[in-house]
Amino acid sequence: MANKTKTQRVLVAMSGGVDSSVAAARLLDAGYDIAGVTMKLWGGPSDTGCCSVSDVDDARWAADELGIEHHVFNFGDDFERHVVAPYVSDHAAGLTPNPCIECNRHIKFDRLLHRADALGFDLVATGHHARIVSTATGLRLGRGIDNAKDQSYVLHMLGPEVLQRLLLPVGETTKQQVRSEAEARGLVTANKPDSQEVCFITTAQGRQEFLSQRIPIRSGRVVNTAGEQVGSVESMELVTIGQRRGLGAVGGGLPRYVLDVDTQSATVTVGSLEELNCQSTPLTRWCWADQPISDEVLVQTSAHGTPAAATVSVDGTQVHWAEPRRRVAPGQAVVAYQGDIVVGGGTAALAAGSYS
């Protein structure tokens, strides 16, 4: 935890989960002047994630148990603009978006910081499982101690200007230790399950129904790499690179995987597992944490995926894998590490026809 003075005021983002509840409790114990805040982001139905009415209630109860102020900030318009609308348009374009990353980028570590400034808070804090590490060239984001719960991947975009204003009190703690501490403190969130799904899509509704209310859902052809039609899909907007299920009998008994999604021609190209492998991945929105690194790094392409050895071009336009690996779905985050430290990150870009 960062150095502090007794007068520092901290605004703690309390999602209604156990991690943020314990984060607030630890900061209170450490002598900070804290207040809790829950961000109201999604105005529609929600039974997953961190946007339901019960989550706001749980956060308020946890704050009451700790004896701290609790606020609710309505960022619904920002959430629609920066998270929901891009999520829909990305699906329409054949991408596989990660809305949690965009929420962190635009809401939790942008709008929240601006609101904290307006209210006179010195710092903000969250319950994310990640660490802030001091290096020879400045503050960097590091993996949380609990590798199974590490959230540095979804926070990779945080630069030094944010890290110097941020506290991550549970990053040095395993999830089980957090739950045990919450139980010992008698917090209402001690045994609450972790959020798992996209908060603005209900379990009953699903992605297809959600998207169909906002954009036309189109069927499409499924072709092999020779261009021969071998099947069809009901919803082009739901197909993702690497997908195997929901493609019909396209392989004559052999497993076939999605290699390419072309929404303009409503065509999905499938192939073998070997054809799914690639030697490089095109990138967009890449940003180095400091100076570009030409040495080999470890690159992660999903929240809890296994990092793979690779090099990233200095201009941040390509990842070159040391060994062939499965294609990364365009729209997914690509994050580079040296050891446990994030050294850069961006997004897998569209590369139509790259299967050939």
Residues taking part in catalysis: 103, 199
DSSP secondary structure letters along 55-80: HHHHHHHHHHHHT-EEEEEE-HHHHI
C-alpha distances (whole Å) from 289 to each of 123, 131, 142, 299, 356 are 21, 15, 12, 14, 34
Give the containing element (helix H, strand E) for 115: helix 112-118
C-alpha 27/C-alpha 24 separation (Å) is: 5
Q: How many angstroms separate the Cα of 316 from the Cα of each of 28, 330, 335, 341, 349?
A: 41, 15, 11, 18, 11
Beta bridge partners of 125: 12, 167
Residue with tokens 């995926």: 305
Measured CA to CA, the distance from residue 79 to residue 162 in angstroms comes to 20
